[in-house]
Amino acid sequence: MTFKEITMDYKIGLAAIAILAAVVASNTWASDSTVRAEEALIVQGNKHWEEGRLGDAQKSFEQAVVADPSSIDAHMKLGGLQLSNRSYAVAIRTYQRTISLDRNNAKAWMGLGMAYLHSGQHELSRAAFGEAVRADPSRKAQLAPLLVERAG
């Protein structure tokens, strides 16, 4: 492996870490004093995730999606957990559902791109990262190493 290839792998790794952090980061909560069931389940899921109780976190996020199937926050949390658990095929489906709710959700496109990348579907990964840049052009520099077709 050449120095250039090692450097590219390093840059891709850094970009992947930054993307995963952005994908699983908390989204804005509603300012209502009334907490909806879906929001309470997301809070519960976050707590379980922080405590390392990943199975319970997944159940909470899944229940949040059932409670409000149009909740982008619930889908994003579930997809982020699936991605971090290396359940790439399931994460792909979750991110696809999220994108069906909001085609301009750059973080959902980034999550989908990461799931495709880690499942070896490089062409689909690049396409998803391209859509993330379309949805949010400010992410172009962050995603640049992942948009380049790699040899081999």
Pairwise CA distance, residues 9 & 6, whole Å:
5
Could you give the number of structural domains in the chain?
A: 1
Among 15-19, 88-92, 115-119, which stretch is predicted with the lowest mean pLDDT? 15-19
CATH classification at residue 66: 1.25.40.10
Q: What is the pTM of this model?
A: 0.76
pLDDT for 73-113, tens place per residue? 999 999 999 999 999 999 999 999 999 999 999 999 999 99
Residues near 54 by beta carbon (within 8 Å), at least 6 away in sequence:
48, 81, 85
| Average pLDDT score, the chain | 83
Q: Does 29 reside within a domain?
A: no
Q: Does 152 reside within a domain?
A: no
Pairwise CA distance, residues 9 & 24, whole Å:
23
